Amino acid sequence: MKIAIINGPNLNLLGNRQPEIYGGKSFEDFLKELKSQYPNVEFDYAQSNVEGELVNFIQEMGQTHNGIILNAAAYTHTSIAIGDAVAAIDIPVVEVHISNIHARETFRHHSYVSKYAAGVIVGFGMKGYKLAVESLLG
Ligand code: DQA
């Protein structure tokens, strides 16, 4: 089982960025834990602050992996291109948001990804990525 985790803009700052919203752990530390919890899963991790790079990751990893966990961060709410990339691939994509986007500003309530996602997990902190792994494992 090969799972790709793709994170969008500013998620490279997890651990330091608004810890009251996103928690105090870096994604690298969280990923180490996740890998040790699922030794039989092969994880690949990609992060970019650039919209087109995220589209490239989705297209490429959509051919090489069994599932994608995608937190497109702010591009979730703006990017038709990322939504189109998710629609274009044949593997399940689980959309994750660390915070509860529906309890925040109205511009965060709409997602261009959700329509094409296998499912959406919001508001459970970093644990959402683990729930997404569980959902992909079936
Ligand atoms: C986020 C929510 C987005 O609205 C925000 O722009 C992010 C992170 C989340 O994980 O809660 O950068 O996707």
pLDDT tens, position by position, 120-130: 999 999 999 99
Residue to mutate (ligand 1; options 30, 95, 99, 105; most atoms within 8 A of CB): 99
Beta bridge partners of 6: 46, 70
Residue to mutate (ligand 1; options 16, 21, 76, 77; most atoms within 8 A of CB): 76
- Continuous segment of H or E residues that includes residue 45: strand 42-47
- Domain holding 113: CATH number? 3.40.50.9100
Q: State which residues form the domain around 103.
A: 2-137
Q: Work out how many domains the chain is built from and give that number.
A: 1
Distance CA(86)–CA(95), nearest Å, equals 10
Ligand 1: which residues within 6 Å by Cβ?
A: 10, 71, 73-74, 76, 97-99, 101, 108
* Phi, psi torsion values for 134, nearest 5 degrees: -55, -45
DSSP secondary structure of 91-120: S-EEEEESS-GGGS-GGGS--SSGGGSSEE
pLDDT tens, position by position, 49-93: 999 999 999 999 999 999 999 999 999 999 999 999 999 999 999
Q: What is the pLDDT of residue 119?
A: 98
